[in-house]
Amino acid sequence: MGGIIQRWLGVLLPLLLALAATMVVFGAFLAVQGVDPIQAYGIIWLGGFGTWFSWQDSLVRAAPLLLTGLCVALPAQMGLMIIGGEGAFVLGALGAVAAGLALASSGLPDVVVDIAMGIAGICAGGALIAFCGILRFKRGVNETISSLLLAYISIAFMNQIIAGPMRDPASLNRPATRTLPDNLMLGDIPGTTIHVGLIFGLVCCVAAYICVYFTKFGFAARVVGGNARAGRVVGLPVERMIVAFCFAAGGAAGLGGMVEVAAVQGAVSSDIATGAGYTGILVAFLARMNPLAIIPVAVLLGGLDAAGGLLQQRLNLPDATMLVFRGVLFVMLLASEAFQGRLTRYLVPRRRLAEVV
């Protein structure tokens, strides 16, 4: 019993310390500008998590981050660093809207069309990241670089498509595809203003967690991530596993793009590149590549994002204030990793620690 408390303390204490340090540093930053830090923290809390309205706001913002976070965390299990989730997100949205528009008047039930849109999104995003994986083991191309560059190419491709072949002739001053009919739009979770994309994200995170930590396949992946050569020696199909994981990762981001277009924007315009793919990198790193930990981290980031608006409205602070807060928080969190599991050593005398453990 004591051992569990000890272990949790070891994990939580550094987090709490990081939070406290952030509050102090950012508070000083605010005070220098003549803003009352206590009031500002009150507003951040209110805007992010203080009311049911704020919670909904935060969760809506967290939804795409769950999926784009996975796009980084899954390949990381195999030691691959994919940072091009934005590309998969955009292609996923484009694929989904193409499928939706093509099937809109086919007479198929809405659910079937929505599923087809989801599959199209997953395949489009998955193919992009899987391509990075293939480039990696076939040609030795660094996947970090290739995925980032492919993200730029994907966004340019999307811009080309929406200004050309798929352009809605009515979208004069803002090139966009035609808008999905209302009956194909994903609805909200009943009783809330949160779209069902949040559920997709939660399910994917939990599924990824189970796959990585509780299946043979996930175990094999982590073996490869630890030492690819060892994996090969024991007869693991390393190449195929890389492709599978990369496809799943890109598929997650692609599904995020599908949700963005089918639950929020309704059509693809250049605004479909929301930056969720890049924020997902941050999410995954803060979650230390653990799919389950992505959930609280994404909600925290969504909340900070939501709070930023209120901070501007109430205190008339510039938008960048929230970036400063986020930046300080991340530096502190990363620094706190150095203390993971070590602080208890100083809190408890060695002898007793030995007894407890």
By CB neighbour count within 10 A (0-12 exposed, 13-18 middle, 19+ buried), where does 37 fall? middle
The answer to the question of residue 152 lying near other proteins (CB under 8 A) is no
Closest CA to 59 of 325, 334, 296, 229: 296
Binding-site member from 47, 95, 126, 256 for other proteins (CB under 8 A): 47
Sign for the CA dihedral angle at 279, 306, 20, 318 comes to positive
- The phi-psi region of residue 235 (left if phi > 0; otherwise alpha if psi is between -120 and 50; otherwise beta) is left
- Write down the least CB distance from residue 123 to other proteins, Å: 24
Q: Check binding of 154 to other proteins (CB under 8 A).
A: no
Nearer Cβ to other proteins (61/136): 61
Closest approach of Cβ 260 to other proteins, in Å?
8
- Whichever of 128 and 263 has its CB closer to other proteins, that residue is 263
Structure-block tokens of residue 180 = 């999905």
Per CB under 8 A, does 51 bind other proteins?
yes
174 binding other proteins? (CB under 8 A): yes
| Helices 197-214/238-259 angle, 10° precision | 160
Which string of DSSP letters, residue by residue, matches 127-142?
HHHHHHHHHHHHH---
Dig out the tokens for 33 from the structure: 């500008």
Judged by CB under 8 A, does residue 192 bind other proteins? no
Minimum gap (Å) between residue 276 Cβ and other proteins: 9
Cβ atoms of 88 and 250 closer than 8 Å: yes
| 86 binds other proteins, rule: CB under 8 A | no
Based on CB atoms, which residue is closest to other proteins, 84 or 303?
A: 303
The DSSP element (H or E) to which 239 belongs, if any, is helix 238-259
Which CB atom, from 299 or from 343, has the smaller least distance to other proteins? 299
Judged by the rule CB under 8 A, the positions of this chain that interact with other proteins are: 46-47, 51, 53-54, 57, 60-61, 159, 172-175, 179, 193, 260, 264-266, 269-271, 274-275, 305-306, 309-310, 312-314, 316, 318-319
